[in-house]
Structure 1
């Protein structure tokens, strides 16, 4: 199932960013490398960038198993060390919004700065309106080893989604707890930050099936192009 999902998502990336074999692509953050490796398998020149050494180890193993080459870089996406180096930058699967407004803005500006003039950016974000109306306040999930109670709430004042996870071992034992907090940005906020950084939104999709974005679609997939002239704004 993951392979099918990854294939659908990467097909969208290739089509919407007009990529071809040899295109230079930055996947940030790349996590365990499922998108970076699939892009490399389709002939792209891929760099995967992530803060987690453990995730990069998993990504390297994934690349070896597929027999592809990806350049892996350890670092913080708030301080991307690239200037005009890529034809495309992708930020996929809910990987934006974890640092607070100012540092998120800086991270987005860094993605734009990493593009060559005319290069394209894809941001794959949750559609805030749809999630807030559809996600129940509590629900059960599971992993191979745990039952997981997920408790969700949304702070409309700060635009922050908070999820508390209670992991109950299937084999018995004390539960474990984890919390995630992520800022869910609106489309006008993303528009404004991209314009400030020197890029313009060219399309917005509501799903990987390319349906038009509206309040009910599950995703907010933003395509933007770096301005052809001048330098992007970057702190």
Structure 2
């Protein structure tokens, strides 16, 4: 999956994403689980929107992402705000020794981009290695309901003066998976013409019980699952599941 052009379009398209809700959820569980430390690893940090917000809240933030283009955007944001965030290029299934953290998060359904169960479990293993005993791990994923009933065979569009996109989603080969075909038309300010950018993204999710089982096998406990940016258990048609837990 290439983010070479998508990285620079991402923030424009994600203006309405409720990033502050993720921050609030992290703060709520930090207090609930009585995690005193402030070292936070933002895995799959993308363009750094959440990394910046966490740093502004006083967290000692490290960001990691597979895409150098995303990291370039993230680094520029942190420098513009004089925030001391370290960014590293990392595959979340092959995490190096980045240090020891009080909190690790994988947000914005980034875990759904891993292609199979083995990759998800490798990510959980890596997080467990980097997280302190008693540390907090949080992530969110698309629900099975959303994958099977909202994304599958759906079309979404966006149109404004600078960016237009057509987003077609199709059922993927794996169970509870989708392929997103995105075509962007982006205005070139100098020529006044629109450039076309095509992207193909694959996402897959799993039943809530599968995530819980894999997490328990990696030494996580007190696992809580909530839905749709709330601290309440997910309803049957919840579109996004949030997982919070501590490392034994």
Report the TM-score, using the length of structure 2 for normalisation.
0.80
Task: State yes or no: 1:28 paired with 2:43.
Answer: yes
Hey, what's the Cα distance between the residues in 1 that align with 2:36 and 2:54? Answer: 9
Q: Any idea what SS the aligned residue of 1:209 has?
A: coil
- Choose which of 213, 234, 245 in structure 2 pairs with 1:213: 234
Q: Any idea what SS the aligned residue of 1:96 has?
A: helix
Q: Which moved more, 1:48-57 or 1:173-182?
A: 173-182
CA RMSD of aligned residues (A): 2.7
Task: State yes or no: 1:117 paired with 2:133.
Answer: yes
Residue ranges of structure 2 left out of the alignment (5+ in a row): 1-13
Residues 224 and 174 of structure 1, relative CA distance in 2, 3 Å threshold: same
Give the match for residue 175 of structure 2: 158
Per the TM alignment, residue 118 of structure 1 is displaced from its structure 2 partner at its CA by: 1.1
The 5 Å alignment of 1:38-187 reads 38-82=53-97, 85-101=100-116, 102-135=118-151, 137-142=154-159, 145-155=162-172, 158-168=175-185, 175-187=196-208
- Choose which of 18, 29, 36 in structure 2 pairs with 1:5: 18
Residues 211 and 83 of structure 1, relative CA distance in 2, 3 Å threshold: same
Q: Does structure 2 retain, via aligned residues, the 8 Å contact 1:22–1:45?
A: no
Residue ranges of structure 1 left out of the alignment (5+ in a row): 228-235
Q: Any idea what SS the aligned residue of 2:112 has?
A: coil
Hey, what's the Cα distance between the residues in 2 that align with 1:108 and 1:41? Answer: 27
Equivalenced residue count is: 227
Per the TM alignment, residue 222 of structure 1 is displaced from its structure 2 partner at its CA by: 0.5
Per the TM alignment, residue 84 of structure 1 is displaced from its structure 2 partner at its CA by: 7.1
Hey, what's the Cα distance between the residues in 1 that align with 2:234 and 2:71? Answer: 33
Q: Does structure 2 retain, via aligned residues, the 8 Å contact 1:83–1:115?
A: no
Q: Any idea what SS the aligned residue of 1:35 has?
A: helix
Q: Does structure 2 retain, via aligned residues, the 8 Å contact 1:125–1:220?
A: yes
Q: Does structure 2 retain, via aligned residues, the 8 Å contact 1:20–1:44?
A: no
